[in-house]
């Protein structure tokens, strides 16, 4: 009786260790890391310049809050609609990344960018500071929060 | 001897199985995240450096509407020195999004401050990222945008 009990416990222990090992292996294969967040950030800028709504749809989280430099925040749907309608058109975005922080399944990216765009008929040629927050979902980084602010033009030398 | 072995193995088994469950247990909730954001405004207004120290993460990036980003030490020094003094504030949290160990808060505020000797009332839209560390919410990123008009 004792021998059978011991056998069962050992079998369960082995099974649970195998399960844990499988979980660790899976995590390592699709780990949310800094390089992936940086790549997703750049891919999002590139898709915006191309006006590639399909790519943006994959890169943006459904719960996106996209807050422009005037403080106005849009949902993912409203943001994508502005591309479809032609209200938002980027000619170029030259981004830099100053810092990336990983907090669990979230990546926070702080950076700057020079943006040349037309929004609602107004031409923009501005320098911005931005904060992107990416959430790790379904094995990929998706932008869940964006906030930018217009920086003052550099002082003349 | 066998009984002891069975006990040890059972304990190891339970520990192994319980670890993922413990990791999946929800930590700070939406209400506490909201309270933490408002507590930070309150602590700033009271010039309560000890409270701010607890509410701000060591890796804080505090990016003001001017576009400059301060570390936690720089922000606390600004408040400690009196170069930044909050006179009043009317913050509200519009939205909280919860993640495994973090929360994103979006909101608006009208604050009156003295900054470098000049009093100003400003309307802000802000995003704050909170990290759940040491059993409490700590603000790790703050980014604010200036609004032209008072928030509705």
User: What residues does each domain of chain B span?
Assistant: 28-147
Mean pLDDT (whole number) for B91-101:
96
Chain B 30-89, CB below 8 Å of chain A: which residues? 59, 61, 63, 65, 67, 69
Mutate to test the interface with A, among B72, B98, B106, B125 (most CBs of A within 10 A): B125
Instruction: Assess whether A55 and A84 both reside in one domain.
Output: yes
**Same domain flag for A91 and A122:** yes
Instruction: Please check the confidence at residue A23 and state whether its pLDDT lies above 50.
Output: no
Question: From residue B58, how far is each of B54, B61, B124, B135 by CA, in Å?
Answer: 9, 9, 24, 15
In a domain, A86, yes or no: yes
Whether residues A10 and A50 share a domain: the answer is: no
Q: Is the pLDDT of residue B77 over 90?
A: yes
Tokens representing A48 are: 């915006």
> What residue in B sits closest to A65 (Cα-Cα)?
B106
Residues in chain B: 152
Where on the phi/psi map is residue A23: left (φ > 0), alpha (ψ -120 to 50), or beta? alpha
Pick the CATH number of B28-147 from 3.40.1550.20, 3.10.450.50, 1.20.120.1730, 3.30.70.360: 3.10.450.50
For B50, the enclosing helix (H) or strand (E) is helix B49-55
Residue in chain A closest to B124 (alpha carbons) equals: A71
Instruction: Residue A44: give the domain boundaries.
Output: 32-150
Q: Provide the sign of the torsion angle of the four alpha carbons A9, A13, A16, A18, taken in this order.
A: negative
Name the least confident of B24-38, B76-90, B103-117.
B24-38
Nearest CA in chain A to B109: A71
Are A63 and B97 within 8 A, CB to CB? Answer: yes
- Closest by CA position to A73, among listed B36, B97, B67, B99: B97
Nearest to B68 by CA among A69, A125, A149: A149
Q: Are B145 and A147 in contact (CB under 8 A)?
A: yes
The number of CA neighbours under 13 Å toward the Cβ of B9 is: 19
In this structure, is residue A108 part of a structural domain? Answer: yes
- Give the closest of B10, B16, B148 to A20, CB-based: B16
In a domain, A156, yes or no: no
Task: Report pTM.
Answer: 0.82
Task: Tell me: pLDDT of A35 over 70.
Answer: yes
One domain for residues A22 and A38: no
Per-residue pLDDT tens for A73-129?
999 999 999 999 999 999 999 999 999 999 999 999 999 999 999 999 999 999 999
Whether the predicted pLDDT of B20 surpasses 60: no
Q: Would you say B144 and B63 are in contact if contact means Cβ atoms under 8 Å apart?
A: yes
Q: How many domains does chain A have?
A: 2
How far apart are alpha carbons B123 and A21 in whole angstroms?
A: 52
Same-domain status, A40 and A16: no
Judged by a CB distance cut-off of 8 A, whether residue A22 touches chain B is: no
Q: Tell me, yes or no, if A118 comes closer than 8 A to chain B by beta carbon.
A: no
CA distance to partner chain A, nearest, from residue B54 (Å) = 18
First to last CA, chain A: 89
Burial of A125 (0-12, 13-18, 19+ CB in 10 A): exposed
Q: Are residues A25 and A40 in the same domain?
A: no
Tell me, yes or no, whether A22 and A12 share the same domain: yes
Measured in whole angstroms, the distance separating CA B30 from the mean position of its chain's CA atoms is 12
Residue B141 exposed, middle or buried by CB count within 10 Å (0-12, 13-18, 19+): buried
**pLDDT band at A15, cuts 50/70/90?**
low
* Mean pLDDT estimate for chain B: 88
A4 touches B: beta carbon within 8 Å: no
């Amino acid at each position: 009786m004792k021998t059978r009990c011991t056998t069962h416990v050992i079998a369960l222990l082995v099974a649970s260790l195998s399960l844990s090992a499988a979980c660790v292996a899976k995590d390592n294969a699709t780990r949310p890391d800094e390089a992936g967040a940086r790549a997703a950030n750049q891919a999002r800028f590139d898709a915006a310049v191309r006006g590639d709504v399909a790519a943006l749809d994959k890169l943006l989280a459904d719960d996106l809050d996209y807050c422009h430099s005037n403080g106005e925040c849009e949902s993912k749907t409203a943001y994508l609609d502005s591309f479809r309608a032609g209200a938002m058109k980027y000619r170029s975005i030259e981004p830099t990344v100053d810092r990336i922080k990983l907090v669990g399944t979230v990546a926070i990216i702080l950076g700057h960018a020079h943006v040349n765009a037309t929004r609602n008929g107004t031409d923009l040629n501005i320098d911005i500071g931005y904060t992107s927050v990416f959430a790790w979902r379904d094995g990929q980084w998706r932008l869940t929060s964006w906030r930018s602010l217009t920086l003052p033009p550099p002082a003349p030398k | 001897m066998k009984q002891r072995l069975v006990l040890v193995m059972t304990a190891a088994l339970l520990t192994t199985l319980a670890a993922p469950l413990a990791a999946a247990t929800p930590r700070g909730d939406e209400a506490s995240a909201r309270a933490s954001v408002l507590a930070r405004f309150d602590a700033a207004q009271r010039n309560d450096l000890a409270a701010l120290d607890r509410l701000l993460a060591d890796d804080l990036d505090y990016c003001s509407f001017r576009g400059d980003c301060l570390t936690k030490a720089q922000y606390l020094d600004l408040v400690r020195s009196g170069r930044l003094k909050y006179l009043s504030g009317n913050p509200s949290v519009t939205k909280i999004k919860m993640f495994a160990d973090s929360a994103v808060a979006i909101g608006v505020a009208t604050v009156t401050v003295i900054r470098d000797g000049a009093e100003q009332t400003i309307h802000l839209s802000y995003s704050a990222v909170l990290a759940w560390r040491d059993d409490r919410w700590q603000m790790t990123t703050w980014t604010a945008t200036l609004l032209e008009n008072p928030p509705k």
